[in-house]
Chain A
Amino acid sequence: MYGFEALTFNIHGGYLEAIVRGYRSGLLTAADYNNLCQCETLDDIKMHLSATEYGPYLQNEPSPLHTTTIVEKCTLKLVDEYKHMLAQATEPLSTFLEYITYGHMIDNVVLIVTGTLHERDVQELLEKCHPLGMFDSIATLAVAQNMRELYRLVLVDTPLAPYFSECITSEDLDDMNIEIMRNTLYKAYLEDFYRFCQKLGGATAEIMSDLLAFEADRRAVNITINSIGTELTRDDRRKLYSNFGLLYPYGHEELAVCEDIDQVRAAMEKYPPYQSIFSKLSYGESQMLDKAFYEEEVKRLCLAFEQQFHYGVFFAYMRLREQEIRNLMWISECVAQNQKSRVHDSVVFIF
């Protein structure tokens, strides 16, 4: 019932919303980041994190630490929290929570397929997979030779199956069409997620459509920039854009014909929300674009917590934690490689 979530939301969602808001208050603050950025060694980072919610996850790690261990343990915490929430959730929240992981699932599929293409060991690849995107038969992906087999053997059992309808070809797998597959899957996923949120209605639909639209637009821009100078035709590029979002449909027409970064910029600056992002960048530069987009995303995600009685907070929390883990990974890498001058380049403060 639109607008009346407050009446009934807490029957099923109240407990979990409280949980997720509690989790959110455990996110690292700007003061934490400032302290972390001053660390000299990874042990210092561990010591600082031991005073935060990551403490119990890191306390049993023996001393010569590696960045991967820190990231792994931090991810483990996120996964534990996710599993706790999923176990407590009822419909439709549980479906919503599952939707959040599909993106990781797509990334994992692509990772394994690309890895086997380059003849990497499957076990080694599995370790690199994001634990949130694991599914039962993921290791069998290595058996498949082309898209059709990929679908027929493995993915038909996964939630990704419906998204695959556009990519079933008998072509052998190569880097190019794997990348196209990733984007086609992602497009189908985002559209499906968007439809699902619209179906839920209320504040969830309102907030999630904003967040997902931003995600779709960001992907559109990234696809455009990455496909400049490749053999991808305009029509193919156009097909990879999701059919919703602020840029849909006229922005997509313009992005589809872009030949260089400045044209992308010209196309994007017509949209006020993105104007501010691009205005921070100097002309011809695309390096800092990622960070600018991340900052904007974090800002929007934090705003999701300003309203009550909707599912957007779960999505927002998961994304914020992932951003936090990315931050920690960057800081740890900088510290480990003695590149402390670059530590601020990629860290996005959450609060």
Chain B
Amino acid sequence: MEYIDRLPAMDLMRSEKMMLVQLIIPVESAHRAVSYLGELGLLQFRDLNDDKSPFQRTFVNQVKRCAEMSRKLRFIKEQIHKAGLTPSPSPAPQPDIDLEELEIQLEEHEHGLIEMNANSEKLQQTYNELLEFKMVLQKAGDFLLSTGSHVATQETELAENIHVNDDYAETSSLLEQVGSNFQEMLPGPSNQTGVRFISGIICKSKVLRFERMLFRTTRGNMLFNQAPTDDQILDPATNELVEKIVFVVFFSGEQARVKILKICEAFGANCYPVAEDTIRRRQITREVLSHLSDLETTLEAGLRHRDKALISIGFHLAKWMNMVRREKAVYDTLNMLNFDVTKKCLVGEGWCPIFAKTKIQEALQRATTDSNSQVGVIFHVMHSVESPPTYFKTNHLTNAYQEIVDAYGVAKYQEANPAVYTIITFPFLFAVMFGDWGHGICLLLGALFLIAREKKLGSQKLGSFMEMLFGGRYVLLLMSLFSIYCGLIYNEFFSVPFHIFGNSAYRCRDTTCSDSRSVGLVKYQDTYPFGVDPSWRGSRSELPFLNSLKMKMSILFGIAQMNLGIILSYFNARYFGNSLDIKYQFVPQMIFLNSLFGYLSLLIIIKWCSGSQADLYHVMIYMFLSPFEDLGENKLFWGQNVLQVILLLLAVIAVPWMLFPKPFILKRLHTEISRSVIHGPWNL
């Protein structure tokens, strides 16, 4: 006991000692103080306005403004991304800019961008329409030429329900409405027979359904021609290229026409009138082409202008985003503070590690002088009944391990931190499983690469997989080193043994055994100096030997690890002065573990040292099944039978000892406490 008391304090293993502090900050220096503290990152504020909803807090307007600004920044970023540019910080140093100015600038930029987008969208739309018109003109013209004969046959078919072309003028005017901005288009009706056509363009994905729908509405009295366009058309809404199909529908009758137009509208098919007259068509095509080239130049100029604007914003984007985010964090923190009675000071409470006290005070002092405040920030320590938060100081190396441990559960305040042991045990146990010095070297190279480029990789954003690798780079390093070590012990280089540490201890009894490697080997020199003898490789007993070796080794490691965990729980219990845990948890756990599995480890070690042939399975199983029976040839040492019976008894006693007393004692304590609370005032 005294020896344990004299052990050095487990500073590394315990989380930092924390204290609850109260800050009273004058309003004028509050913002600066909080942002300095934020940069320091050593104080955790407690939310003193827990009962208030976010929009009832003091600095809600500032938070809203920041949210609005970050929305604008996101919008700009998205625009930059859409334009296919990559925002890069500008080479020249930029002037600092304060928040109000930034807000105004962002407003301007957003406004400008939206306007530019609207303009270019309008242009793009006209451009698309013209492009589609051009395609329709080309393709549909071909149809009209080639299906001339077809139409003639249709004419005869439809002869009985021909409508007289009395509404010729009306039709043309209607088609004019449908048509685009071209005045000089010709009426659609093909001739006096009453077969008319509508031509247009539609998305490729919709064309099948479109045709079916047309067929149903006209009850089959129509002819549908289609041809794919040569180019894809840019969809302004999604910014993607879409394949489109030009179609020409021949039909007869006014009712059918109205319906077909409605269907076209419903399917988002754009209809364009095509003149039947070839000369006329050529003329229109020419005009369309000239308009197209005009528009193209305008569009390009617009795009260039927008790209230039975006690039100039892109220079500052990262900095601005950072700034807005910081600002929002500051106001979010300020929202956690309370106003004192006079409304001149903000009162905040927070947790900080004791070692950070001077640093925090310095930062606060700096804030006071920088903001020319006449009153300094008051900083004093408070008593608290709550359990403080757990804070482990970590560095590059230990951080990854701490995260692994935290994934299983965060230790309570000042509880022993298993992450310290994990730094060695985790990579080592990995290596026990994957020991191979060839693989280990590969892993080592990878880990060294990550560590060598630490500065560069650390500053950029990595993918989720890369980030995980990078975060665990020191874990990888240690894993690879241990893997090489274990690989040397297993004597495996990509699963091939090497004679690194001299010749094998075995050789053939005579010259005939060169290919039969399992029999006829004799030991002619001392045991192989390090690791597994390469002669085992390929021999008939390789698997039984190596498996047995590795399995027994794993049992030893496993039980050592479990013992370590239980011993840690003892130190925890001692630290917190909890004798209950020691008596009813630690002691029976130790007894149970070691009387069964500790005994097994003992047997393994004895077997290894004595070279006995005893069957340990048999020993362990019959220890439970028939503890009083004689062990026979499996006996390893004198008095083993008696020892086994004693250990079994201990284990049986340990189970109820471990499970039953603690909950009952805790319940009794609980009822006693609640009773004393109820009767407390009277006892005073």
Interface residues of A (CB under 8 A from B): 35, 38-40, 43-44, 47-48, 50-51, 59-63, 122, 136-137, 139-140, 142-143, 152-154
User: What is the CB-to-nearest-CB distance from A66 to chain B, in angstroms, rounded to a whole number?
Assistant: 16
CB <8 Å contact, B217 and A48: no
User: What is the CB-to-nearest-CB distance from B366 to chain A, in angstroms, rounded to a whole number?
Assistant: 33
Determine the distance from Cα of A43 to Cα of B55 in the docked complex, in whole angstroms: 9
Q: A143-B217, A152-B216 are in contact. List 7 more A-B contacts (CB 8 A).
A: A51-B54, A59-B67, A62-B71, A137-B213, A140-B213, A142-B266, A153-B216
Across-interface contacts of A152 in B (CB, < 8 A): 216
User: What is the CB-to-nearest-CB distance from A58 to chain B, in angstroms, rounded to a whole number?
Assistant: 10
Interface of A is mostly: helix
Across-interface contacts of B268 in A (CB, < 8 A): 139
Across-interface contacts of A140 in B (CB, < 8 A): 213, 262-263, 266-267
Determine the distance from Cα of A63 to Cα of B70 in the docked complex, in whole angstroms: 12
Q: Which of B54, B55, B265 contacts A122 (CB 8 A)?
A: B265
Across-interface contacts of B280 in A (CB, < 8 A): none
Q: Which of B67, B75, B209, B259 contacts A143 (CB 8 A)?
A: B259
Determine the distance from Cα of A277 to Cα of B209 in the docked complex, in whole angstroms: 48
User: What string of 1s and 0s marks CB contacts (under 8 Å) between B45-67 and chain A?
Assistant: 00000000111100010011001
* Interchain residue pairs with CB less than 8 A apart (14): A38-B56, A48-B55, A63-B68, A122-B266, A137-B213, A139-B265, A139-B267, A140-B266, A140-B267, A143-B217, A143-B262, A143-B263, A152-B216, A153-B216
Determine the distance from Cα of A136 to Cα of B71 in the docked complex, in whole angstroms: 34
**Shortest Cβ distance from A123 into B: residue:** B265
Determine the distance from Cα of A143 to Cα of B53 in the docked complex, in whole angstroms: 51
User: What is the CB-to-nearest-CB distance from B199 to chain A, in angstroms, rounded to a whole number?
Assistant: 20
User: What is the CB-to-nearest-CB distance from B560 to chain A, in angstroms, rounded to a whole number?
Assistant: 38
CB <8 Å contact, B259 and A38: no
Determine the distance from Cα of A142 to Cα of B260 in the docked complex, in whole angstroms: 12
CB <8 Å contact, B53 and A48: yes
Cβ of B393 < 8 Å from any Cβ of A? no
CB <8 Å contact, B216 and A44: no
Top 10 closest pairs, chain A to chain B, by CB: A139-B266, A35-B53, A44-B55, A140-B266, A143-B262, A47-B55, A153-B216, A143-B259, A47-B54, A140-B213
**Shortest Cβ distance from B114 into A: residue:** A62
Across-interface contacts of A35 in B (CB, < 8 A): 53
Cβ of B204 < 8 Å from any Cβ of A? no
Across-interface contacts of B259 in A (CB, < 8 A): 143
Determine the distance from Cα of A316 to Cα of B85 in the docked complex, in whole angstroms: 45
CB <8 Å contact, B68 and A38: no
User: What is the CB-to-nearest-CB distance from A163 to chain B, in angstroms, rounded to a whole number?
Assistant: 20
Cβ of B574 < 8 Å from any Cβ of A? no
CB <8 Å contact, B209 and A137: yes
Cβ of B81 < 8 Å from any Cβ of A? no
Supposing A137-B209, A143-B262 touch, asked if A38 and B216 sit within 8 A by C-beta, the answer is: no
**Shortest Cβ distance from B72 into A: residue:** A62
User: What is the CB-to-nearest-CB distance from B104 to chain A, in angstroms, rounded to a whole number?
Assistant: 15
Across-interface contacts of A50 in B (CB, < 8 A): 67
Cβ of B74 < 8 Å from any Cβ of A? yes
**Shortest Cβ distance from B53 into A: residue:** A35
User: What is the CB-to-nearest-CB distance from B309 to chain A, in angstroms, rounded to a whole number?
Assistant: 19
CB <8 Å contact, A142 and B53: no
**Shortest Cβ distance from B78 into A: residue:** A60
Across-interface contacts of A139 in B (CB, < 8 A): 265-268
User: What string of 1s and 0s marks CB contacts (under 8 Å) between B244-270 and chain A?
Assistant: 000000000000000100110111100
Across-interface contacts of A122 in B (CB, < 8 A): 265-266
Indicate the member of A39, A40, A44, A143 with the most B CB atoms within 10 Å.
A143
Across-interface contacts of B64 in A (CB, < 8 A): 43, 47
Supposing A137-B213, A140-B213, A143-B259 touch, asked if A59 and B71 sit within 8 A by C-beta, the answer is: yes
Across-interface contacts of B60 in A (CB, < 8 A): 47
